[in-house]
């Protein structure tokens, strides 16, 4: 049996901004976000993104990053179906 899943990641301009944003979200009481390595297909080098499982959390992420003056660089949908991973850039 193959595992199927989908989730979203928010990419920032630097690792430090991703870590800072996640820390701010957690201090604000949000537990639906996770720091993950950005897939190589998206960005070369060592970088982190913020992962979330439901698109409705994107609005929360946008609101909270605006409060701290952080810009969301890009949002991606990551899906795995029948053993194949696809990455799709979303318009924000």
Give the start-to-end residue ranges of the domains of the chain: 5-90
Tokens standing for 40? 């190589």
pLDDT digits (tens, 9 = 90+) for 3-44: 788 999 999 988 899 999 999 999 999 999 999 999 888 875
DSSP state for residue 60 in the 8-state scheme: H
Q: Which CATH class for the 5-90 domain?
A: alpha beta
Give the separation between CA 21 and CA 23, rounded to whole angstroms: 5
Would the pTM of this model clear 0.85, i.e. be above it? yes
Please enumerate, as own/partner, the contacts of 62-67 that have beta carbons within 8 Å and a separation of 24 or more. 62/92, 64/21, 64/24, 64/25, 64/28, 64/30, 65/21, 67/24
Q: What is the pLDDT of residues 45-74, one digit of tens each?
A: 668 999 999 989 999 999 999 999 998 889
d(CA 46, CA 56): 28
């Amino acid at each position: 049996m193959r595992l199927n899943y989908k989730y979203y990641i928010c990419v920032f301009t630097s690792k430090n901004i991703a870590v800072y944003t996640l820390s701010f979200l957690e201090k604000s009481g949000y537990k639906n976000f996770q720091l993950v390595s950005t897939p190589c297909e998206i960005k070369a080098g060592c970088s982190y993104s913020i992962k979330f499982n439901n698109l409705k959390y994107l609005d929360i992420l946008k609101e909270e990053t605006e409060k701290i003056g952080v810009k969301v660089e890009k949002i991606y949908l990551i899906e795995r179906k029948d053993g194949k991973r696809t990455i799709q850039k979303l318009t924000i």
